[in-house]
Chain A
Amino acid sequence: MLIVGERINSSRGRIAEAIETRNAEAIQAEAAAQEKAGADYLDVNAGSFVGEEAEHLKWLVQIVQEAVSIPLCLDSPDPGVIRSVLPLVAQTPMINSVTLEPERLEGILPLAAERGAKLIALCQSEESMAETVADKVEMAVRLVEKAEQVGITPDDLYIDPLVYPLATNPQSAVATLDAVGRIMGEIEGVHTICGLTNVSYGIPHRKLINRTFLVAAMSRGLDSVILDPTDRDLYGALLAGNAVLGRDDFCMAYITAYREGRLGPL
């Protein structure tokens, strides 16, 4: 599983405050903790600062890079913001995200292609956010086509089939799971990714739902995920999932995590 650490996001109050007050220490601690916990990429987001997003994201990129050795996942819907930040990025990044909306397709795709970046692509068009399995798969196919037109191979593309709250549609998670299975089965070489927190909106003990959904999605072929790797129970579920699904040779990663004291109750 490819893990994108989600914690450095300005929609979290503490992070927004740290960004605003230029508290590099706080951000770097978040970055280091996620790297240590097993993140492969670190998401950086300054989207809550309307009009100042680029400036804040540039600062985030610079100070996070000082603290970790893993690459970044640049999180903005705005092609202009991505373009202005890219020159500062040391390692080939991931970009989060493109959709089928023309402005984002035309703005983001060439940037990703030019930089050879990995790219998260949401099953969302100008008209709608895909809810049914058929819509999710159809949009995934179109995203892959659009990306290939500018030279981005499926191997650099991470399709997010979108996750909706169970609270308002009890069949929504099944639609996402089915879509993951179909996309992984029908589109050669492409990856799938999703966030987990939406699924549990409005229902109790959200983290239990989140990690159950993660393992269910992994069983359909999900190979990448945006999550908080410092969440011990969640990361444990991920390792256990890998072991159960035959993706952990002789359970070595699981056993190693146990030895390091990273599994089970504290």
Chain B
Amino acid sequence: MGDTLAEIRQAVIERQRDRIEGLVREVLDEGMEPNVVINNGLIPAMDEIGKMFTEHKIFVPEMLVSAMTMKMGLEVVKPLLKGAQSEPKGTVFLGTVKGDLHDIGKNIVGMMLEGAGFRVVDLGVDLTVEKLMEQVETQSPDIIGLSALLTTTMPEMERVVQELEARGLRDRIKVMVGGAPVSPAFAEKIGADGYGGDAAQAVELARRLSGADR
């Protein structure tokens, strides 16, 4: 079984979309616990992919296809998860701020967060503070991840932080920011909890903020 787990990791890393589902079924048939397949097979593979991406060893399309492969494996396992096993590592809201329609970076971050075991709720582009708060009140996320590609829309991120404070939710909900014109200094200035420079950094950050790395 250990060997098959290694093969699962390899299949994700090598983007073998035609193999992954069969391999996952195989270990499940052999009696492996579904959460072991996820935590020792699929997620570590995506961690490796994130590391390779940060080290510039792989390119964006390679990372994306690995994430797709991981997700195919995850879909096979998911229906078998029971009770506490099916709890995600946390819920992350993602959105591109109001006035901004750029979503490519945000979508990549979403795929990588899912790959790391988070529940991701994508609230789309041109996300107003009001619409975001509606969702916050009903779904109570652990983290809000905000993206902006325009210098003109970056100030919206600060508005989100302020609104969370005004509603007394700031202690409960972490805010992480990213996007081409965004910097760690800007994140600090507006009172966000962190900045992710790429999708792998965003995953690291989400883990730290949610306490999932403990």
Given the known A-B contacts A165-B60, A167-B61, A168-B107, are A128 and B151 also in contact in the complex, defined by CB atoms under 8 Å?
A: no
CB pair A50 B152 closer than 8 Å: yes
A168 CA / B180 CA spacing, docked (Å): 17
- Could you tell me the dominant secondary structure of chain B's interface residues? loop
CB pair A164 B104 closer than 8 Å: yes
CB pair B59 A167 closer than 8 Å: yes
| Number of cross-chain contacts by CB at 8 Å | 45
Size band of the A side of the interface?
A: 20 to 34
**Is A116 part of the contact surface with B, judged by Cβ < 8 Å?**
no
Q: Mark A47-82, 1 if CB is under 8 A from B, else 0.
A: 111100000000000000000000000000110000
**Chain A residues within an 8 Å CB radius of B101:** 124, 128-129
CB distance from A100 to the nearest CB of B (A): 12
A50 CA / B101 CA spacing, docked (Å): 19
CB pair A165 B104 closer than 8 Å: yes
CB pair B59 A204 closer than 8 Å: yes
CB pair B60 A50 closer than 8 Å: no
Name the residue of chain B whose CB is nearest to the CB of A164. B104
Count of B residues near A, CB < 8 Å?
A: 18
CB pair B59 A50 closer than 8 Å: no
A78 CA / B150 CA spacing, docked (Å): 12
**Chain B residues within an 8 Å CB radius of A203:** 59-61
A156 CA / B61 CA spacing, docked (Å): 38
**Is A151 part of the contact surface with B, judged by Cβ < 8 Å?**
no
Listed residue (A48, A129, A168) with the most chain B CB atoms within 10 angstroms of its CB: A168
Can you report 26 A-B residue pairs in the complex whose CB atoms are below 8 A from each other? Answer: A11-B180, A11-B181, A47-B152, A48-B181, A49-B151, A50-B151, A50-B152, A50-B154, A50-B155, A77-B150, A126-B126, A128-B101, A129-B101, A129-B102, A166-B61, A167-B59, A167-B61, A168-B107, A168-B108, A170-B61, A202-B59, A202-B60, A202-B61, A203-B60, A203-B61, A204-B59
Q: A168-B61, A168-B108, A202-B59 are in contact. List 18 more A-B contacts (CB 8 A).
A: A48-B151, A50-B151, A50-B155, A77-B150, A124-B101, A128-B125, A129-B101, A129-B102, A166-B61, A167-B60, A167-B61, A167-B64, A168-B60, A168-B104, A170-B61, A201-B104, A202-B60, A203-B61
